[in-house]
Structure 1
Amino acid sequence: MTSWTAAELDAVGRAGELRVGGVRDDGTLRPLVIVWQVRVGDDLYLRSVRGPEGAWYRGVLRHLRGRIQSGGVTKDVRFARDTEHDDEVDAAYRAKYGTGSAVRSITSDLARQTTLRVTPA
């Protein structure tokens, strides 16, 4: 498995939004959609604001592979469910995006069910 470079982590971590798409059964990429991402240490995390029913999330879960674009970085990636860092991910979302209704949604119990760690493929 490859790791993020410091420059990639900084660029993606600072960016306000990230585009993500999962891989289809035939190997093609699903359309990229905009989501919020956060950095916790040397890891990147995503969540579905709509919880497990979010279309992009369901598409990513199929093969746990896809692509991201953010902060000038385009990368093929792997996704892994991560339930061990939810409190840190919540804190990172609040620190980065504030405490408004959108952040309350992305830190809700429903959204926490979809916490994904993103690593380079």
Structure 2
Amino acid sequence: MPTWTMDELKRIAEATELDLESERSDGSLREPVTMWVVRAGDGVYVRSVKGRSGPWFRGAQAQRQGRISSGGVRKDVTFTDADPADWPSVDAAYHAKYDAYRGIVDRVLTEQARESTLKLLPH
């Protein structure tokens, strides 16, 4: 299984945002959605502020693959549900990276947002 290189992890971690394009059933890509992204360990994670009912999240769940762009890294990825055991480290990564945006960062730390945590796997 392909993994992120250390350079890719570093560049994505240093980037403020990520553009995510989920794949449609015909293989074409949806319009990109810009969101926050964090690195926790050797994983790359995103969350939906609106939880599992958020429009981009539902699109990502349909085919479970797409493409991301962040920090100069452009990569085809698979979207997998993050293990709930990883949520605390993802929470900590969001705090470390985005606490300067107090008030806004809290929106990705709700239980609803946690339940939508996706791990991005390169392919």
Fold equivalence (TM over 0.5) = yes
- 1:31 maps to amino acid: E
Structure 1 runs not aligned, ≥5 long: none
Aligned 1:95-114 pairs, distance under 5 A: 95-98=96-99, 100-114=102-116
User: Separation in 2 of the partners of 1:12 and 1:32?
Assistant: 16
Deviation at 1:107, TM superposition (A): 0.6
TM-score, structure 1 normalization: 0.97
Unaligned segments of structure 2, at least 5 residues? none
What are the superposed Cα offsets for residues 68-117 of structure 1, whole Å, 9 maximum, x if unpaired? Answer: 00000100000110122111101110010006111110010110010011
Distance 1:11 1:70 in 2: 7
The residue identity in structure 2 corresponding to 1:87 is: P
Cα shift at 1:53: 1.7
8 Å contact 1:8–1:73 — kept in the other structure? yes
Instruction: Output the aligned Cα RMSD.
Output: 0.9
State the partner residue of 1:80: 80
CA distance in 2 between partners of 1:117 and 1:25 (Å): 21
How many residue pairs were aligned? 121
* Contact 1:21/1:59 (<8 A) preserved: no
Identical residues among aligned pairs (%): 44
- The whole-number CA distance in structure 1 between the counterparts of 2:4 and 2:89 is 19
Instruction: Report what 1:32 is aligned to.
Output: 32
Match of 1:118 in 2: 120
SS of aligned partner of 1:20: strand
Task: State the match for 2:93 in structure 1.
Answer: 92
Q: CA deviation at 1:21?
A: 1.4
Query: Which residue does the alignment assign to 1:67?
Result: 67
Normalized against structure 2, the TM-score is what? 0.95
- State the alpha-carbon separation in 2 of the partners of residues 57 and 17 from structure 1: 16
> What corresponds to 2:58 in structure 1?
58
